[in-house]
Amino acid sequence: MSQLTFPKNTWYVAAMSDEIGTEKPLGRKICGESIAFYRPSANEIAAVRDFCPHRGAAMSLGYVEDGLLVCGYHGLKMGADGKTKEMPLQRVQAFPCMKAFAVEERYGFIWVWPGDQDLADPDLIPVQEWAISDEWAYGGGLYHINCDYRLMIDNLMDLTHETYVHASSIGQKEIDESPVDTKVNGDEVITSRTMENITAPPFWQAALEANGLPKDAPVDRWQRCRFTPPSHVMIDVGVALEGKGGFDAPKEFKASSIVVDFITPETEDTMWYFWGMARSFKADDQALTDKIREGQGGIFKEDLEVLEYQQANLKAFPDYDLLKLNIDAGGVQSRRVIERLIKAESAAKVALKDVPLQTISF
C-alpha cells in the first residue's frame, strides 16, 4: 500500500455550514474516510462513519429524528458517538460502534479531523479574522475536482498562470514579467509579487469602480499567497492608485480582498475546493458580493479544467520528472511542509506500535 499523500491528524474544511440542515445528513468522503455529517439540533454538528453496522447501508441516505441519525434502510438509530441507540424490535447492546469524528462549526464552515479523534484540539483551527468582523463581506462556493489536492496548492502558490488561464478577467502580461519572492516561516510559506504603475485588468477595474475609484487610473498591484498546513491558501490581492502606498495604501485609495482557499482531499486524486473572496470595502452591499462571487466562480472554473487534464497527464506519464522553476518555489516548499507532517504522523504511529501493551496508559 502506497504512503498517503495527506496528513489525517489535522483540521480540514468538510462542508459549508448551509449544506447541512436539521433533517437530512450530508455524506462526504474526506481524506479517504466516508463520513455522514448531521445536526443533532440546530446548533450542533456531528460526524460518524457513513456505514450502518446492520447491513452496511450509507447512513447519509437516512434522516435525523430526535437528535439521532436514522438509517433509511431498516431504521437503525445512531448517536453522535457512533453507537447504535435503538432499532425496531431489536436488542442493540452488542452492535459494533462506528467511528465518530471530531467536528466543529466555525466561520461558516464545518471542520473535521479525519484522524485520531483523541488528538483533535479545536484551538488548532486557524482563526479567520475576516469571518468575525462586520467590516468584511464574504461570498464563495464549492467545486469537486478530479485531481490531487496538491496540484491546486501548486496552482494557488504560483499565480503566473493568471496571464494565460484567466486572460479575460484577472490576467495581464505584467504578472509573468514580475519576479516572485518566496519565504518560509516554519510551516508557513509565502510567495509575493508586486506590479507598479500598470493598468488594472478587467476584474480589478470593476472593483475600483465599485469602491468609487477611477477604473482607468494607473495602479500598483500586489499578490501575496500564504500557505498554511494542511492545505489552506489565503491570498492577499488588490490594486491601489499608483503612488499611494500599494498594499499599505489607505482604504480610500485601493480595492483589496483576501482570496479564501480551503483545499480538502477526498481521495488520493480527487478533492473538494472551497473557494471564496472576503473584501473590506462596501461590506454591506449584498448585490456586489453576489456579483463578485459569480465572477470568481467563473474564474476558478477555468482552473478546474486545467487541473483535471493535468492530473490525467501525470497519471499517463508517471515516470516523467517535471521541471521545477523559480516560479514553482511556493508550491515546492508547501509540499515539503506537507511531507514533513505526513512523516511525523507515520513515525508517531510506528512509535505507538512499538510500545509494550502494558505500558500504554489510557
Give the CATH class of 133-343.
Answer: alpha beta
pLDDT in tens, 51-79: 999 989 999 999 999 999 999 999 999 99
What's residue 183's pLDDT? Answer: 96
- Decide if 169 contacts 202 (C-beta within 8 A): yes
Cis ω for the linkage preceding 230 (within 30 of 0): yes
Q: In this structure, are residues 329 and 182 in contact, taking their beta carbons and an 8 Å threshold?
A: yes
Helix (H/G/I), strand (E/B), else coil: 256: strand
d(CA 13, CA 125): 10
Checking if the pLDDT of 352 tops 70, the result is no
Residues in contact with 219: Cβ distance below 8 Å, sequence separation at least 6, in sequence order: 197, 198, 199, 200, 204, 208, 239, 240, 241, 242
Residue 77 CB-density burial (10 A; 0-12 exposed, 13-18 middle, 19+ buried): buried
127 secondary structure, DSSP code = P
Q: Where in the chain is the domain with CATH 3.90.380.10?
A: 133-343
Architecture of domain 12-123: 3-layer Sandwich (2.102)
Task: Tell whether the torsion through CA atoms of 194, 200, 201 and 204 is positive or negative.
Answer: positive
Report helix, strand or coil for 301: helix
Residue listed under C-alpha cell 454538528: 45
Q: Give ranges for CATH 2.102.10.10 in the chain.
A: 12-123
Residue range 70-120, pLDDT digits in tens: 999 999 999 999 999 988 888 888 888 999 999 999 999 999 999 999 999
